Structure 1
Amino acid sequence: MTVASHRIDTNTLRRGACPSITAPMQTGDGLLVRLRPVSAALSAQDLLALADIARRHGNGLIEITARGNIQLRGLIDASVPRLAADLAAAGIETRTGVAIEIPPLSGVDPSEIADATPIADALRNAIAAAALTLAPKLAIVVDGGGVLSLSDMVADIRLDAIETNEGALWRLAIGGDRETARSVALLPSDAVVDGTMAVVSALAAAGPATRGRDLDVPTLSANLSEGDNGQEAISWFKSGPRHPVGKHHIGSRLVLGVAPAYGQVHADRLAALVQSLSACGAMEFRLATHRTLLVCGLSEEGLSAAQGAAEREGFWCTDKAPGRSVSICAGAAGCASASFDTHAAADAVVAHAAGLLDGSVDIHISGCPKGCAHPARAAVTLCGTADGVGLVLNGKASDPALATVPADGFVPAIQRLGALLRNRRAESETAKSLLDRTAPDTIVSAYQGHQ
């Protein structure tokens, strides 16, 4: 890899496209680069090298994204080519092209229906060979199931493995997560790549801004001769995945999921964590969804020590961590589009409205209406606008707010909302149940202080 091969495309220094080494994104604290390592299993040396690269070429801030990628912040134009050279020197190869996501333990988890890796690799090669022009943020999920499946990940195209008496079949669907995506076909393994490429070709033919949600399902289904349309497949799926943070038994293996608070950590702290976890017996690390790092190779004794090490470094490492249900973007400290401090807002929600954070609903705190941290709908979205912080229920950051409070009135608003929910909550009631039975007008009144 040469420095010249990573010349920056200045036309892509804009928000809205996926940031990469060749197309970094300008943010409030400099350029941002997103890395998708080719290897599912990273060594301690790989992570220490990434920490060193983040310090030398950026401001040292590292993020694990909601989709399990790595972001480095605070770079400048001159540092990006040097970053690429240092990644190559460290032996860390990163992917380019369409994002194709698979469960982090594909091929390792004995409870999975099928290993997603071969299908994902074949599809990746087919798309590269076709050289089609596709939407910059087009996303594909190939989900073979298992403990940490990707059933809750939204994608333009989804392939979900289904267990049948004849073996594994793949449900091809578009525009959503496992429950909301629209079924196109149910395909055997030997027809999956061709069937999926028919959908990819339809996206390309419709134009570079076309997403999965824009396609017509009956037309796609009619053009696929293999299998049925998979409309009944959703009822065949096993239960949804566990959150990756916390302790997992994967066959005979122990895996610990740790997450930096709200997905962001300084390189020095990450390096300290990796060194401590290695001393506890960690053998490899895997990036996972929900801003999580999976720690593999631990014994029972080592896992207990690893949890203590993670807590000392400020990482969440149990399934009770309240902030794990909160998705936030960089906020005003790291993005010029953001209008308020999302980290401080998340801390306020944890402190004053922890009843929302039992894991039964998603909470999204967005610095602006683009909603980069959580493109899907959330039970509660708090979005920065020119007028303050808007409240959206069961929607996206781009949806109209039901109520807005000034940024300096946000903490009192959350205190009022938290008090309302505590007073109305029945014993052992989940946040989802509580929100479902509470009238939106009641929530809005508490948020605005009109009780």
Structure 2
Amino acid sequence: MSAFVVKGWCPDAWRPMMAGDGLLVRIRPPLGRLTRAQIIGLCAAAVRHGSGQIDVTSRANLQIRGVSDDEWRPLIDAMLELGLIDPDTAREARANILVAPDWREGDDTHRIASELHARLHELPDLPGKVGFAIDAGVAPMLADASADFRIERAASGHLILRADGRDHGRPLSPGTEVDRLIALARWFVDSGGTASGRMARHHAPLPDWAAATIAPAGSAPRLEPGPHALGLPFGRIEASALTRLLEVEPAIRAIRLTPWHIAVLETESPLAATPDPAAFITTPSTALLRTDACVGAPACPQATVETRTLARRLAPHVVGRLHVSGCAKGCARAGPADVTLTGCDGRYDLAFDARAGAPPSRAGLDTAQILAQFGAA
């Protein structure tokens, strides 16, 4: 298998990552929400200082692509002016907070996420990939999303604090949620969790005060495209397409990001026109909604194969979820998929019900062989 580099950290605005197409600058909008003015400003900055291509990640962050070294600082200044990044680099690095997109102002999700954001300075230094999920709606929405510490609803209606990798959580008293979450993050570090990197890989017994006794409620139905939600193929959006959407839809006052490549529109009115089908998915049955594919070669220096053109051709012919990964890291999808293709030395390894990099059922396939395997040739 081809070697690849596990960096052990995720880029943010102050610490961008070099990709094959330039610097990758990650933006973590507070509460996963951008106002109309912020969207317009971000799109203009992405075109002016980058390639104009924007990715929505599996943690509902934005990544501005194609930024040169000379354009990085002007981009940062634009994001600061828009209020999309924290001027404190340490606080920005800790702001890995995933928020259920159905929150309303003043509800539990909004209240807890806002308090956590205000108290980021109280968190310890955590591994770069560690994050939080505030999922305090009627039923959990983020159970399949990546997070290490979760506040979510139990079947009883109580809120619980759950460490990722544990099936049960600890009940929380109202008003203590952030206190307990910060305490659990500190325990993680003090008990050696930094060496493990992630909560699910840290097998130390939880402290007595965090004893897990209550299971979370059943998950809410997965969000789908509809009158107030648009799918984004592979999580990619061109800044120009997003700008045009706002131009023809003046009623859109904000957009909320999700970990499912779906953008939720804050608008009281139906869309006036059909969105650009090349940029947005409007039909829940579209095969690309159950397809994950990283940017692949040549945009990623660790990928050895092209990914997204193949994924588009193959998706309609795959039953279940498809994952096409440029290398064994599996950045586009951490969990298993029904069909997984992993790039290896310029060819593809095919596996079923597996993660990227799993032992393949067939190895060393080219594009024609893959398409023939699924009747897509």
Q: Does 1:32 align with 2:17?
A: no
Q: Please say if 1:380 is aligned against 2:346.
A: no
2:112 maps to: 119
Q: What is the match of residue 275 of structure 1?
A: 247
Counterpart of 2:256 in 1: which secondary structure?
Answer: strand
Q: Distance in 2 between matches of 1:264 and 1:155?
A: 22
1 CA distance for matches of 2:132 and 2:308? 29
Paired AA for residue 61 in structure 2: N
How far, CA to CA, are the matches of 2:118 and 2:35 in structure 1? 26
2:212 equivalent among 229, 240, 244: 229
List runs of 5+ in structure 1 lacking aligned partners: 1-12, 248-255, 420-446
Count of aligned pairs: 366
Counterparts of 2:201 and 2:140 in 1: how far apart (Å)? Answer: 29
Match of 1:414 among 353, 371, 375: 371
Residue 63 and residue 147 in structure 1: after superposition, are their counterparts in 2 closer, same or farther (change >3 A)? farther
Find out whether 1:172 has 2:161 as its counterpart: yes
Matched AA of 2:180: G
Return the offset for 1:93. Answer: 4.0
Q: Is the Cα contact below 8 Å between 1:387 and 1:404 reproduced in 2?
A: no
TM-superposed CA distance for 1:330, in Å, is: 0.8
1:380-413 CA deviation, whole Å, 9 max, x = no partner? 221111262112222221322222233xx22432
Task: Check 1:14–1:29 CA distance in 2 against 1; reply closer, same or farther (3 A cut).
Answer: farther
Task: Map 1:275-354 to 2 at 5 A.
Answer: 275-278=247-250, 281-299=251-269, 302-303=270-271, 305-306=272-273, 308-311=274-277, 313-351=278-316, 353=317
State the 1:415 CA deviation.
Answer: 3.3
**Where does 1:51-450 land on structure 2 (aligned, <5 Å)?**
51-93=43-85, 95-107=92-104, 115-130=108-123, 132-146=124-138, 149-162=141-154, 164=156, 168-176=157-165, 181-205=166-190, 206-210=192-196, 211-216=198-203, 219-224=205-210, 229-231=212-214, 233-234=215-216, 237-247=217-227, 256-278=228-250, 281-299=251-269, 302-303=270-271, 305-306=272-273, 308-311=274-277, 313-351=278-316, 353=317, 355-356=318-319, 361-386=320-345, 388-406=347-365, 409-418=366-375
Q: Take 2:141 and 2:128, find their aligned partners in 1: how far apart are those partners?
A: 25
SS of 2:283's partner is coil
Contact 1:35 1:69 in 2 (8 A): yes
Distance in structure 1 (CA, Å) of the matches to 2:126 and 2:279: 39
Cα 1:23–1:174 change in 2 (3 A) is same
CA distance in 1, matches of 2:162, 2:354: 22
Conservation of the 8 A alpha-carbon contact between 1:345 and 1:411: no
Kindly indicate whether the alpha-carbon contact (under 8 Å) linking 1:221 and 1:229 is maintained by their aligned counterparts in 2. no
The one-letter code sitting in structure 2 at the alignment partner of 1:410 is T
Q: Distance in 1 between matches of 2:153 and 2:114?
A: 16
SS at structure 2 position matched to 1:282: coil
Partner in structure 1 of residue 89 of structure 2: none
- Contact 1:405/1:413 (8 A) holds in 2: no
Instruction: Kindly provide the amino acid, as one letter, of the partner of residue 149 in structure 1.
Output: M
What percentage of residue pairs aligned between the two structures are identical? Answer: 27
2:148 counterpart SS class: strand
Distance in 2 between residues matched to 1:98 and 1:207, nearest whole Å = 19
Task: Report the alpha carbon displacement of residue 191 of structure 1 after superposing the two structures with TM.
Answer: 3.6
1:287, distance to aligned residue in structure 2 (A): 1.5
Q: What letter matches 1:393 in structure 2? A: F
1:313-345 CA deviation, whole Å, 9 max, x = no partner? 531122122101111111103101011111112
Cα deviations by residue, 1:411-430 (Å, 9 ceiling, x for unpaired):
432332347xxxxxxxxxxx
Give TM-score, length-normalised by structure 1.
Answer: 0.74
Give the CA RMSD over aligned residues.
2.7
The TM-score with structure 2 as length reference comes to 0.87
Distance in 2 separating the partners of 1:400 and 1:324: 26
Q: Which amino acid aligns with 1:213?
A: A
Instruction: Give the Å deviation of 1:60.
Output: 1.3
Taking a change above 3 Å as real, the CA distance of residues 92 and 190 of structure 1, as seen in their structure-2 partners, is closer
Residues 83 and 403 from structure 1, CA distance in 2 versus in 1: closer, same or farther, beyond 3 angstroms?
same
Which structure carries more helix by proportion?
1
Deviation at 1:49, TM superposition (A): 1.2
Identify which of structures 1 and 2 has the higher relative contact order when contacts are C-alpha pairs closer than 8 Å and 6+ apart: 2
Q: CA deviation at 1:51?
A: 1.2
User: CA shift at 1:291, angstroms?
Assistant: 1.8
Structure 1 CA distance for aligned equivalents of residues 138 and 24 of structure 2: 32
Q: SS of the residue aligned with 1:290?
A: coil
Could you say if the C-alpha distance between residues 208 and 147 of structure 1 is closer, same or farther in structure 2, counting changes exceeding 3 Å? closer
- Tell me which amino acid in the other structure corresponds to 1:266: E
